Amino acid sequence: MRLLARTTVFFLLYASVVAVAGTFVYYEFIRKIYYVYVDRTLSRRKLRVENDLRLYLRTPADLTFWHQLDHNVEFVPLTAPGPPAAFSVRMMYNQLVGKAVPYRQLAAPVQFQGRPYRLELRTTMLESQELLARIVQAGALLFGVLLVGLLVLQHFLTRRLWAPFYQTLGELQRYKLDQHQPLSLAPTRIPEFKELNSALSRVLNRNQRIYHRQKEFTENAAHELQTPLAILRTKLDMLVQVPGLTEEQAGHIEPLLDVTQRLTHLSRSLLLLAHLDQQLFFPSETVDLAAVIRTQLGQLREQLEAANLTLVAEGLAPTLTVAANRSLIEILVSNLLSNAIRHNVPGGELRVLLTPDELTVQNTGRPHALPADQLFVRFRPGPERPPGSVGLGLAIARQICDTYGFLLSYHYDAPGRHSMRVRIH
Amino acid sequence: MGLLLKKSFAEKIEPWKERDRTRINAATLPVLFISLSAPGMKLLLVEDEPELLASVVSYLQAQHYVCEVATTYDQAQEKMLLHDYECIVLDLTLPGGDGLDLLRELQRHQKAAGVIITSARAAVDDRITGLELGADDYLPKPFYLPELSARIAALVRRRHYQGTNLLQVGLLSVDVSARRASVAAQPLTLTRTEFDLLLLLLANQGRVITKGAIAEHLSGDVAEQFDTYEKVYAHVKNLKRKLTEAGAPNYIRMVYGLGYRFDPNPAT
């Protein structure tokens, strides 16, 4: 549930509780006030009646006559002095509406001509109850309007007030660590968002700087290796030209040549990875993937023969074009094929299957599945790594696939059959 | 005289013989080289790393090229504008400037030198910019000397012999542009790879070409390298077989498992 929806729900919950409870409380409150008012009126009338009793009324017949004129005034003769004055609500038949309606009654002890009476003063609550209902209705309506208004206001206000937050969120969702331009967050006047944005900018730009520094470091390190390697290579090239080179000396030079070769391959791979990570510009062209695979398979023919591998290739006849950098596609294909040859078993099989959507390179190999999550790790350690491999081939393949939105995955198809699949589209 | 000068050059250029490891005094070198009697193409090698420069000069000189060197941007600029070179081997990162600017300079002055860029900067756009600015080839560092020699040879051939481009070595004659080879008028049927291999060998006659250099020449630097050299062995074997079947002497010799040498005058 979104933040705004969540606050609205809580707001509504609170509002409905307050509305329900509030209506009762409000009703009770208004009723109390009204009763106080009615009771005061009744008390004043009682004073007047007591006054009248003293000054104008002579006989008990007068009292009965009064009651006949005004039903809301009644004198009940008592034998003993009655209880003190008390208010009560009672139901009584009303002639005007023809049914029993509630009355507020003040019962007070009075003396008339030395004899105790109970004076009952009444006023009907019929209209006042309607009035009360109307007042409560009006109150509820007011409350409702207030609630709806508040909801609408809150909705628009929060939408406006939280706009910088959602902008920042959007920026963060689009943010990539390897992007080159620093994060730009929209300016805002709200201090909290200002602080949030500045904190985020600080953290992210710092991360980005560290990331780029690391990438630069890799690139520079690999780069700085090239010149010493070039010297090493050319010196070795000169060394093998020396006249009178003995077999023993040659035996010492050969491993040096191999190691230099490996170092060169390693530093080139690192450079390529650094460039792929930095998303350096690799010009795109239309590349026939099938043709690239055919060429690379041709290049590897001797390697296949040496390992006594059977090649099964399908779907390489029609052209299958992708828009990509030719060198990168060649490296991708070369790495996948070399990998399948390196990890093969003598007398095994290399299957290359190309469909319009997918390239599958399958090889026979160890009779157990490989840990898929570790295969594409740079400098993958472990017993799976054959000698001579620098452990970057698959990492590079994955990075190239990422560059072009291809999906590279490992599958253990059948016992002893491993495959790498590239989803092209 | 030539020999004497050559010797003094060697002392200058080979720093392991030099106590004080100063940079090669490039300003004095051209005179020495020009006075060498070897009839060769004049090259300018622009490279700031003295050890690397020493190897390159020494190797190419033995290939009968006349080498001049420049170790800074300014030297290179001065030389390439003052003199005409057959080929300039240009490093991009130089003290005092960017090699790509030298290419722009060459273009502006319409100097018709072939340029091979050798750079440790492997960025793709450098390569593209370089080629767009009129460089003929791009050889990333670290490179093999036989490869550099082959590239220079190919460049020189391209620039000089349009149409007919015939190499004659002993009984072997190679038409580079038509990609045909024959032994004593008997045509050889060589595959693309075998022909490339033959060109590499011919560009480095009498020199040992290591297996790694051959492998890289045949596969290109994008290919994943194997520690085994099956490919090299297979292609050299096939080429040797085809040459001997056509009646050529045993031109290609293996040197202690290190690599191969094309000997234009085999003893037997």
Please compute Rg for chain B using Cα positions: 19
Residue type, A94: N
Partners of A271 on chain B (C-beta within 8 Å) are 122
Interface membership of B127 toward A (CB under 8 Å): no
pLDDT of the residue at B161 = 67
pLDDT, greater one: A240 or A125 = A240
Q: Are B144 and A237 within 8 A, CB to CB?
A: yes
Partners of A280 on chain B (C-beta within 8 Å) are 123-125
User: Which residues lie closer than 8 Å to B166 by C-beta, 6 or more apart?
Assistant: B173, B174, B175, B176
Q: Are B258 and A253 within 8 A, CB to CB?
A: yes
CA distance, residue A175 to nearest chain B CA (Å): 25
Q: Are B210 and A235 within 8 A, CB to CB?
A: no
pLDDT of the residue at A178 = 67
| Contacts by A371-379, CB closer than 8 A, 24 or more apart | A372/A409, A372/A410, A375/A410, A376/A408, A378/A273
Q: Are A245 and B51 within 8 A, CB to CB?
A: no
Q: Under a CB-based contact definition with an 8 Å cutoff, are residues A156 and A149 in contact?
A: no
Residue A381, CA distances (Å) to A173, A272, A336, B224 in order: 34, 20, 18, 19
Residue A335, CA distances (Å) to A295, A356, A400, A402 in order: 13, 20, 11, 15
Mean pLDDT, chain A, whole residue set: 85
Interface membership of B10 toward A (CB under 8 Å): no
Q: Quickly count: other Cβ atoms within 10 Å of residue B175's Cβ.
A: 14
Strand partners, B187: B182
Asked if pLDDT for residue A207 goes beyond 60, the answer is yes
User: Which residues lie closer than 8 Å to A296 by C-beta, 6 or more apart?
Assistant: A330, A333, A334, A337, B223
CA A261, A267, A270, A276 dihedral sign is negative
Please, what's the b/e burial string for B109-148 (b: 16 or more CB within 10 A of its CB; e: otherwise)? eebebbbbbbbbbbbbebbebbeebbbbbbbbbbbbbbbb
pLDDT of the residue at B26 = 39
The mean pLDDT of A307-317, rounded to a whole number, is 90
Interface membership of B121 toward A (CB under 8 Å): yes
Distance of alpha carbon A186 from alpha carbon A184, whole angstroms:
7
Distance of alpha carbon A295 from alpha carbon A288, whole angstroms:
11
The mean pLDDT of B118-129, rounded to a whole number, is 75
Q: Scan residues 325-364 of A and list those with Cβ closer than 8 Å to B.
A: 325, 327, 330-331, 334-335, 337-339, 341-342
Share of residues in chain B with pLDDT > 90 (%): 36
pLDDT of the residue at A352 = 94
Residue A353: pLDDT band with limits 50, 70, 90: very high
Interface membership of B210 toward A (CB under 8 Å): yes
Share of residues in chain A with pLDDT > 90 (%): 19
Q: In what order do the strands lie in the sheet with B172-175?
A: B166-169, B172-175, B180-183, B186-188
- Partner-chain residue, chosen from B59, B120, B222, that has the shortest CB–CB distance to A334: B222
Please, what's the b/e burial string for A356-381 (b: 16 or more CB within 10 A of its CB; e: otherwise)? eeebbbbbbbeeeebeeeebbeeebe
Interface membership of B205 toward A (CB under 8 Å): no
CA angle B224, B230, B231 (to 5 degrees): 65
Partners of B223 on chain A (C-beta within 8 Å) are 296, 299, 330, 334
Q: Quickly count: other Cβ atoms within 10 Å of residue A3's Cβ.
A: 11
DSSP assignments along B181-249, one per residue: EEETTEEE---HHHHHHHHHHHHTTTSEEEHHHHHHHHH-TTSPPPSS-HHHHHHHHHHHHHHHHTT--
What is the separation of C-alpha A172 from the centre of its chain, rounded to a whole number of angstroms? Answer: 12
ipTM of the complex: 0.80
The mean pLDDT of A264-275, rounded to a whole number, is 84
Residue type, A66: W
Partners of A224 on chain B (C-beta within 8 Å) are 120
Q: What is the dihedral of CA A393, A237, B235, B246, to 10 degrees?
A: 170
Asked if pLDDT for residue B19 goes beyond 50, the answer is no
CA distance, residue B233 to nearest chain A CA (Å): 9
Q: Are B124 and A338 within 8 A, CB to CB?
A: no
Please, what's the b/e burial string for A37-48 (b: 16 or more CB within 10 A of its CB; e: otherwise)? ebeeebeebbee
Residues in chain B, how many? 268
pLDDT of the residue at A384 = 61
Asked if pLDDT for residue A205 goes beyond 80, the answer is yes
Specify the range with the lowest mean pLDDT, choosing from A122-126, A379-383, B83-87.
Answer: A379-383
The mean pLDDT of A33-55, rounded to a whole number, is 88
Asked if pLDDT for residue B225 goes beyond 80, the answer is no
Q: Are B230 and A233 within 8 A, CB to CB?
A: no
- Partner-chain residue, chosen from A241, A282, A341, that has the shortest CB–CB distance to B207: A241
Q: Are B257 and A254 within 8 A, CB to CB?
A: yes
Q: Quickly count: other Cβ atoms within 10 Å of residue A334's Cβ.
A: 25
Residue A183: pLDDT band with limits 50, 70, 90: confident
CA distance, residue B239 to nearest chain A CA (Å): 15
Asked if pLDDT for residue B4 goes beyond 70, the answer is no
Q: How many CA atoms lie within 13 A of A373 on its CB side?
A: 0
Q: What is the dihedral of CA A273, A275, A281, A282, to 10 degrees?
A: -40
Asked if pLDDT for residue B180 goes beyond 80, the answer is yes
Q: Are B256 and A250 within 8 A, CB to CB?
A: yes
pLDDT of the residue at B8 = 38
pLDDT of the residue at B21 = 36
pLDDT of the residue at A237 = 92
Size of interface A-B (CB pairs under 8 A): 144
At B84, list the tokens.
């005409």
pLDDT of the residue at B33 = 32
CA angle B8, B13, B15 (to 5 degrees): 115
pLDDT, greater one: B215 or A82 = B215
| pLDDT, tens digit (0-9, with 9 covering 90-100), for B56-83 | 999 999 888 999 999 999 999 999 889 8
Specify the range with the lowest mean pLDDT, choosing from A9-23, A171-185, B18-32, B158-172.
Answer: B18-32
| pLDDT, tens digit (0-9, with 9 covering 90-100), for B79-103 | 988 988 989 999 988 899 888 899 9
Asked if pLDDT for residue B208 goes beyond 80, the answer is yes
pTM: predicted TM-score of the whole model, two decimal places = 0.67
At A387, list the tokens.
């000698």
Q: Are B228 and A306 within 8 A, CB to CB?
A: yes
Partners of A387 on chain B (C-beta within 8 Å) are 227
- Partner-chain residue, chosen from A240, A261, A280, that has the shortest CB–CB distance to B259: A240
pLDDT of the residue at A1 = 66
| pLDDT, tens digit (0-9, with 9 covering 90-100), for B231-258 | 889 899 999 999 999 988 889 999 988 9
Partners of A277 on chain B (C-beta within 8 Å) are none
- Partner-chain residue, chosen from A230, A262, A303, that has the shortest CB–CB distance to B141: A230
Q: Under a CB-based contact definition with an 8 Å cutoff, are residues A260 and A236 in contact?
A: yes
Interface membership of A269 toward B (CB under 8 Å): no
pLDDT of the residue at B227 = 65
Task: Identify the closest residue of chain A to B205 by CA–CA distance.
Answer: A241
- Partner-chain residue, chosen from A280, A282, A302, that has the shortest CB–CB distance to B231: A302
Q: Quickly count: other Cβ atoms within 10 Å of residue B217's Cβ.
A: 23
Q: Are B255 and A264 within 8 A, CB to CB?
A: no
Task: Identify the closest residue of chain B to A240 by CA–CA distance.
Answer: B208
Q: Under a CB-based contact definition with an 8 Å cutoff, are residues B190 and B240 in contact?
A: no
CA angle A340, A343, A348 (to 5 degrees): 80
Q: What is the dihedral of CA A414, A391, B218, B230, to 10 degrees?
A: -60
CA distance, residue B25 to nearest chain A CA (Å): 19
pLDDT, greater one: B213 or A224 = B213
Please, what's the b/e burial string for B235-259 (b: 16 or more CB within 10 A of its CB; e: otherwise)? bbeebbebbeebebbebbeebbebb
Interface membership of A388 toward B (CB under 8 Å): yes
| pLDDT, tens digit (0-9, with 9 covering 90-100), for A65-123 | 888 888 888 888 888 877 888 888 888 888 777 888 888 899 988 888 888 888 889 88
